[in-house]
């Protein structure tokens, strides 16, 4: 059974463990309103962890929640929200964890940071983010818009552009899509990843990590 351990500061789960990875719950805010997201389906719970945050944890709280960086295979910036909405906190925490000797730092993202910040933010990741996992979610814009309900126009193309840029600054870029969602063609998603020259990971509905 997977080792699981939550770090609650007050009533908040700021860090939690799945297998040998430590997850940091960066924010509950999102750029998307995915139809399949637990929080839009009446639940904030992921693998028994209640991830709802009524306020965002500070950089110091995230560092504390990371614990002993040598204890984990990787530390992952995520949340039931979009970590890059707190880009500068993520960058600060990543740099500090790196200084402590964190072996691997991964960012889970919707890939919309360039659109949100109005600039290419991917060079900011160089040196401190080892891997990025981008939610591609769909093989075309129409399906993406229906499933992810983005708040910003042009999100799908912006996400694809983000992936292209991230390849230059992050050693490992993986794109993901969830098998089992209506209208999602997993093989077509895999082909997009191949065309972009990045790895594809098929996710299964309801399984996190």
33 binds ligand SF4 (CB under 6 A): yes
Residue nearest to ligand SF4 (CB): 37
Q: Which is nearer to ligand SF4, 72 or 144 (CB)?
A: 144
Q: Look at phi and psi of residue 22 and say left if phi exceeds 0, alpha if psi is from -120 to 50, else beta.
A: beta
Number of residues that bind ligand SF4 (CB under 6 A): 10
Number of H helices, E strands in the chain: 6, 10
The 114-153 site mask, x for binding ligand SF4 (CB under 6 A), equals ----------------------------------------
Given candidates 110, 124, 125, 136, which one binds ligand SF4 under the rule CB under 6 A? 110
Minimum distance of ligand SF4 from residue 82's CB (angstroms) = 6
Report in angstroms the alpha-carbon separations of 188 from 20, 32, 41, 156, 197: 31, 22, 27, 15, 14
Any bridge partners for residue 24, and if so which? 15, 77
Q: Which is nearer to ligand SF4, 95 or 176 (CB)?
A: 176
81 binds ligand SF4 (CB under 6 A): yes
Q: Which is nearer to ligand SF4, 32 or 163 (CB)?
A: 32
Q: Which is nearer to ligand SF4, 34 or 158 (CB)?
A: 34
43 binds ligand SF4 (CB under 6 A): no
The 159-198 site mask, x for binding ligand SF4 (CB under 6 A), equals ----------------------------------------
Contact 86, 59 (CB under 8 A): no
Given candidates 26, 34, 76, 115, which one binds ligand SF4 under the rule CB under 6 A? 34
State the Cα–Cα distance between residues 148 and 141, nearest whole angstrom.
10
Among candidate residues 181, 78, 33, the one with its CA nearest the CA of residue 189: 181
State the Cα–Cα distance between residues 170 and 131, nearest whole angstrom.
6
State the Cα–Cα distance between residues 16 and 47, nearest whole angstrom.
10
Kind of pairing, strands 49-50 and 45-46?
antiparallel
Q: Which residues form the interface with ligand SF4 (CB under 6 A)?
A: 30, 32-34, 37, 39, 80-82, 110
């Amino acid at each position: 059974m997977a080792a699981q351990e939550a770090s609650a500061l007050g009533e908040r789960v700021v860090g939690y463990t799945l297998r040998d990875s430590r997850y940091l719950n960066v924010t509950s805010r999102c750029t998307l309103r995915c139809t399949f997201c637990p929080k839009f389906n009446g639940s904030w719970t992921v693998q028994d962890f209640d991830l709802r945050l009524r306020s965002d944890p500070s950089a110091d709280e995230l560092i504390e929640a990371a614990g002993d960086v040598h204890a984990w295979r990787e530390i992952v910036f995520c949340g039931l929200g979009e970590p890059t909405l707190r880009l500068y906190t993520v960058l600060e925490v990543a740099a500090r964890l790196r200084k402590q000797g964190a072996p691997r730092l991964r960012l889970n993202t919707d890939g919309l940071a360039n659109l949100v910040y109005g600039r290419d933010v991917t060079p900011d990741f160089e040196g401190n983010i080892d891997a990025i996992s981008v939610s591609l979610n769909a093989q075309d814009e129409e399906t993406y818009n229906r499933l992810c309900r983005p708040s910003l126009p042009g999100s799908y193309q912006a996400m694809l552009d983000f992936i292209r840029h991230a390849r230059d600054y992050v050693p490992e870029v993986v794109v993901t899509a969830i098998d089992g969602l209506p209208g999602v063609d997993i093989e077509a998603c895999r082909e997009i990843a191949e065309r972009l020259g990045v790895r594809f990971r098929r996710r299964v509905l309801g399984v996190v990590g």
